[in-house]
Chains A and B, each alone.
Chain A
Amino acid sequence: MVEDYLKPLEEKTLAEKLFLLKFEVDKESHLIVNAELCRECEERACLDTCPSGVYSWEEDKKEVTISYEGCLECGTCRIACGEGAIEWRNPRGGFGVSYRFG
């Protein structure tokens, strides 16, 4: 029906968008942060620049937590981090995100 294609584009939250993707989740994180550097860090560029919101700041624990399961492996966090606090590795072979379109 013509009307179906006059409706606005469907809306999806970031979590819903990530849910569309196929992730093979490894037992251990391929991303490691230096807790001490992160505690001292003033900008914490990782929190905003990561497109899938992998990093969050836990105020009560005073540490950066990593939801590596949703990592898109773009590598932006490593480049954005001014402290060199992120040890960025590729997920092990066969793990991580797989795009169907790309």
Chain B
Amino acid sequence: MNDRFDCIIVGAGPSGITAAYKLASSGLNVVVFERGGYPGAKNMFGGILYSTVLGRLIPEFWNVAPVERHVTKRRYSILSEDSEVSIGLKFNAFDTPPYNNSFTVLRARFDRWFAKKAEEAGALVITETVVDDLIMEDGRVRGVRVGREGGEVYGDVVICAEGANSLLSEKAGLKRKPEPAEMVLGVKEVISLPRGVIEDRFCLEGGQGAALEFFGEATGGVTGSGFIYTNNDTLSVGIGCPVSVLKDKRLKPNELIEGFKSHPCVKDFLRGGTIEEFSAHMIPEGGYNALPKLTTDGLILVGDCAGLVNPSLYREGSNMAMASGLLAAETVLDARDKPAFTKASLSGYMEKLEKSFVLKDLKRYRDVPHILHSTPALFKEYPDAVLTLLEGHFTVSEESKGDIHEDIKRAFKSKVSIWKFLIDAYRARRLWT
């Protein structure tokens, strides 16, 4: 193996491969190290890829990439122990290219395909190889040490796309170990059902897909959420919950997902299914306030290790990962003619991120993690109170409507303080606006 490269990339996920694709396409000599047996082997996400960046890199990728379904329907539900209120959305405009840039995806398939594209563009992708350390010389990153014989590999610049477990980024001193409140654990099951059953059950046709999000009792009334996304012939079903909440309340992730799947308003979506896979992965959801330093001499962080996830209801991670990978690659290309990839010459990366949706959105939603953690009532007291109110309103009886409304107002007020509810609802608008 050539032991000197223009650029070394750690990790063959969406951010690393995007950077590799762009740099290799521009003629640079690029190597990607991936610790899994194949790209995607270690990767999992909820299931929806926003594809604006991918669409720019590979136009009409949906004709060739292993994407599952394009999302035409969305549904947001609030659950109490045995009831549900939901809002369902369907937009036929999302049924034509570019399909609203939203596709359900299974990562073991998608990442492998995407890495193949980078290889075709000229990148060298080496699997089964862990990067154990960065090589530091004269106070700057010069390369990486891999867990293989003769494992010192030198490059002009290193792009670290190591993912949520940011061991190298921490070693490089760019970030501290994340706090439990800054990380969400996602646990997912892939459940198979025949294509026709999925399309019938979710009222879909052709390649259309549905994304269902559940709050409140979805996670037993603690901060977090549940989801069901439709793939071709499987469902991605899971929950996400901050590590701090799991820890403080002593919750077992497997019991949380079991509770979600057996909820009376969830279980019927899953009938007759076969569990194909169980998986777990962390998501950095500390947002803007938890961002690490993103560059140092000879090193750029992209994707999850850089903390580039929008923690609001928009739930954008993989697209931000790809955007950061692309901007990192552009920064490297800009700096190519300068003598060295110093912190100063790489500072363009931060400027590019600031101008893009990535940091604009992270800034806009910077208070979301705090709102979620400081308002646990959003996940228990408020869903319960709202559903009690609605149940009363829709209960058929011979009591006069005036009396019913007095009753349900009283029941609502006995559960929550109206003023606190209104203030919290106002604060929580930032979760999705």
A18-B278, A48-B250, A51-B187 given; A101·B234 CB < 8 A? yes
Q: Which stretch from A8-16, A31-39, A56-64 is at the chain B interface? A: A8-16
Q: Is the CB of A80 within 8 A of B247?
A: yes
**Set of chain A residues within 8 Å of B247, measured between Cβ atoms:** 43, 45, 48-49, 80, 82
Tell me which of A8, A43, A101 contacts B190 (CB under 8 A): A101
- Asked whether B106 is an interface residue with its Cβ less than 8 Å from the other chain, the reply is yes
**Contact string against A for B residues 243-273, beta-carbon threshold 8 Å, 1 for contact and 0 otherwise:** 1001100111110000001000001001111
Q: Is the CB of A21 within 8 A of B278?
A: yes
Interface residues on chain A, size class: 35 or more
Q: Is the CB of B275 within 8 A of A8?
A: no
**Set of chain A residues within 8 Å of B40, measured between Cβ atoms:** 99, 102
Q: What is the number of contacts between chain A and chain B, taking CB atoms within 8 Å? A: 164
Q: Which residue of A lies closest to B253 (CB)?
A: A51
**Set of chain A residues within 8 Å of B376, measured between Cβ atoms:** none
Minimal beta-carbon separation of B245 from chain A (angstroms): 10
Q: Which stretch from B41-49, B74-82, B289-297 is at the chain A interface? A: B41-49
Tell me which of B45, B130, B146, B164 contacts A75 (CB under 8 A): B164
A20-B276, A79-B282, A94-B128 given; A99·B165 CB < 8 A? no
- Asked whether A7 is an interface residue with its Cβ less than 8 Å from the other chain, the reply is yes
B residues 138-168 touching A (CB-CB < 8 Å): 146-148, 164-165, 167
Tell me which of A5, A92, A99 contacts B44 (CB under 8 A): A99
Q: Which residue of A lies closest to B185 (CB)?
A: A76
**Set of chain A residues within 8 Å of B45, measured between Cβ atoms:** 102
Q: Is the CB of B280 within 8 A of A72?
A: yes
**Set of chain A residues within 8 Å of B108, measured between Cβ atoms:** 98-102
- Asked whether B344 is an interface residue with its Cβ less than 8 Å from the other chain, the reply is no
Interface centre among A49, A78, A91, A102 (most CB of B within 10 A): A102
Tell me which of B42, B107, B111, B282 contacts A96 (CB under 8 A): B42
Minimal beta-carbon separation of B235 from chain A (angstroms): 10
Bound complex: CA A49 to CA B187 (Å):
11
Q: Which residue of B lies closest to A77 (CB)?
A: B243
Bound complex: CA A5 to CA B147 (Å):
48
Minimal beta-carbon separation of A53 from chain B (angstroms): 7
Q: Is the CB of A102 within 8 A of B243?
A: no
**Set of chain B residues within 8 Å of A92, measured between Cβ atoms:** 130, 147
- Asked whether A4 is an interface residue with its Cβ less than 8 Å from the other chain, the reply is yes
A18-B278, A93-B130, A99-B44 given; A75·B165 CB < 8 A? yes
Q: Is the CB of A9 within 8 A of B267?
A: yes
Known: A17-B275, A20-B276. 18 other contacts (CB 8 A): A8-B271, A21-B277, A43-B247, A73-B165, A74-B185, A75-B164, A75-B282, A79-B178, A79-B179, A80-B180, A80-B243, A93-B128, A94-B128, A97-B42, A98-B36, A100-B277, A101-B190, A102-B277
